[in-house]
Structure 1
Amino acid sequence: MPVRTARPIALSAADRVRLKKMAYGHKTEHRLRVRAQVVLHAARGRSNARITRETGLHLDTVRRWRGRFAETGLPGLKDRQRCGRPASFTPLQATEVKALACRLPAESGVPLSRWSCPELAREAAEQGIAPFVSASTVRRWLAQDALKPWQHRSWIFITDPDFRTKAARVLDLYARTWQGERLGDDEYVISADEKTSIQARCRCHPTLAPGKARAMRVNHTYRRGGALAYLAAYDVHEARVLGRTEERTGIGPFMNLVTQVMSQEPYASAKRVFWIVDNGSSHRGKKAADRLTRAFPNAVMVHTPVHASWLNQIEIYFAVVQRKVVTPNDFTDLTEVRDRLRAFEDCYNATAQPFQWKFTTSDLDDLLARLDRRTADHPEESSVVPAA
């Protein structure tokens, strides 16, 4: 039997540089490093048998990579495309699972409020879509179309017939405009509301501070120390908060907040101070507006639309208070709650900047136009807005 002759290898300067990087690079895959070393040995005129002894590879392996490089160059050192294992599921099965995820569980008779991947996989098997499918496979299919059926968002119907007019007034004030005219330097915009039922929960065991590889630990068991209401007024353009605590909410506590704000400068001598409030019982309707004006003639009450507290910037501040002051709730008594809220006000006012409010009347008109188009396309649906 004739002896097979080793194929000669001639390298260009560029190929030699790239092969050396592959053969001795620290981040090169082992298989590519070995193949590059075989080619470099072959380029020095060494036989396949000698390369086998020096590299410890099998003779057929040396012959294979030497031959592939001789035929196609550097691309020949890569793995060839393989057909791989046949697909376990058809595109139709994947589509049917996605369609199932886009239906409410109740439509399939499943006693769930929302789908999860394991439950979708189980339901797909019960409906005969596939004999068996894993939760990870379902998760991969849903990720292709960014489907997350386990999440939900709330929305509400627009019930206020003057929604656009009321919302536009609030948005104009945020832009320092009232009835088409710019506000003066001696006119201010206040956003006010109440945060109810802030409890004092005294934990039965001390809270543990964070440690190495350990989050802060708060004991679940607590003793109730009562609750209070936190009323706050936020100067929209000055980023200043004035607040107070009361035992409960109501007309009296709200007017106490108004008096606290309007009795100090610059609001006491201001030309006008606009108070943006929602439709809570403490400041609802024309009676509340008249009561405010009688007490302070330079104060003007402006109501947000019904179910539109998301237009009131004080809610953003209350979210900050909830996240940074109240949660996790661990207070000895209500006095500690009051002291913490008062201290946080001072800290906040020292560094606060006005909120970057970007929702304008133009955005409002675009939103209402989209809702009108949706209502026209689906007459059975009413206009809706997202709940904040």
Structure 2
Amino acid sequence: MLSIDEKPGVQALDRTQPPRPVASGRVATRTHDYQRKGTTDLFAALDVGTGRVTARCFPSHTRADFLTFMDQVIAEYGGAELHVVVDNLATHYGPDVDTWLRRHKNVTFHFTPSGSSWLNQVENWFGILTRHALQHGAFVSVQDLVNTINNYVENWNWDAHPFEWTATAEEIVAKVEVLHREFRKLLANNL
């Protein structure tokens, strides 16, 4: 099973001055201002069974880009049957996608419910990528940003492992019940 999505508008930001490193008695600092060098749109497929990631950057995130990425993904898996979790973004459905799916009978899309992108595990990976490689980075160009992403993916895949749920079903249900109860109280107070 693959979890696929895109992270659009990833910015290549470069600081106007180099950061000051940590020194004795002083934390690292960096300027608050930056220069925008452009953006890229990242498509990623997380294999939920192995944790391996296939990724590719595009200058946009159109349906054609998505299908080009899907061609790359299925080429990596040969003719294997693939179940793909995607969200309801317009890029993931439409006549072009229907035609593509008819040509690739071994691929089945499973759509997450609206507003439930957190169910798509690749979103967790995007968060990890952002914290580890993008958030505090300084990129002199879009190509520098793309190279950083590609290097991160390569290193991730060297030691890939699947995400593991640590919460039990009972814990999750209990939290949902608390949220539901609090939401009902909030509604009752506003009526």
TM-score, normalised with respect to structure 1: 0.44
User: CA 1:359–1:256 in structure 2 vs 1: closer, same or farther (change >3 Å)?
Assistant: farther
Whose radius of gyration is greater, 1 or 2? Answer: 1
The alignment's C-alpha RMSD in Å is 2.8
**Paired residues for 1:245-260 under 5 Å:** 245-260=57-72
| Matching residue of 1:283 | 92
1:324 aligns with 2:143: no
| Matching residue of 2:162 | 354
**Contact 1:289 1:301 (8 Å CA) reproduced:** no
User: CA 1:363–1:296 in structure 2 vs 1: closer, same or farther (change >3 Å)?
Assistant: farther
**Larger RCO, structures 1/2 (Cα 8 Å, 6+ apart):** 2
Report which of the two has the higher share of strand: 2
Query: 1:345-368 deviations in whole A, cap 9, x for unaligned?
Result: 0111111221112567x5599469
Structure 1 residue 297 displacement after superposition: 1.3
Query: 1:234-274 deviations in whole A, cap 9, x for unaligned?
Result: 0001110000001111201111111111012xx2121x101
Structure 1 residue 223 displacement after superposition: 1.7
1:235 aligns with 2:47: yes
**Contact 2:38 2:141 (8 Å CA) reproduced:** yes
1:273 aligns with 2:82: yes
Cα separation, 2, equivalents of 1:214 and 1:365: 42
Cα separation, 2, equivalents of 1:205 and 1:240: 36
**SS at 1:300 equivalent:** strand
Q: Which moved more, 1:221-230 or 1:303-312?
A: 221-230
**Paired residues for 1:25-40 under 5 Å:** none
Query: 1:83-121 deviations in whole A, cap 9, x for unaligned?
Result: xxxxxxxxxxxxxxxxxxxxxxxxxxxxxxxxxxxxxxx
1:195 aligns with 2:4: no
**Paired residues for 1:170-185 under 5 Å:** none
User: CA 1:197–1:268 in structure 2 vs 1: closer, same or farther (change >3 Å)?
Assistant: same
1:301 aligns with 2:109: yes
| Matching residue of 1:336 | 144
User: CA 1:218–1:262 in structure 2 vs 1: closer, same or farther (change >3 Å)?
Assistant: same
**Contact 1:279 1:303 (8 Å CA) reproduced:** yes
Query: 1:270-317 deviations in whole A, cap 9, x for unaligned?
Result: 1x1011011112114x75763442242100000011100110100110
| Matching residue of 1:86 | none
User: CA 1:256–1:374 in structure 2 vs 1: closer, same or farther (change >3 Å)?
Assistant: same
Structure 1 residue 370 displacement after superposition: 3.3
**Contact 1:207 1:216 (8 Å CA) reproduced:** yes
**How many percent of aligned residue pairs carry the same amino acid?**
27
**Contact 1:292 1:300 (8 Å CA) reproduced:** no
**Contact 2:51 2:157 (8 Å CA) reproduced:** yes
1:311 to 82, 96, 119: 119
**SS at 1:263 equivalent:** helix
**SS at 1:325 equivalent:** helix
Q: Which runs of 5+ in 1 are unaligned?
A: 1-188, 382-388
**SS at 2:128 equivalent:** helix
TM-score, normalised with respect to structure 2: 0.85
Cα separation, 1, equivalents of 2:121 and 2:101: 22
Q: Which runs of 5+ in 2 are unaligned?
A: none
**Contact 1:251 1:282 (8 Å CA) reproduced:** yes
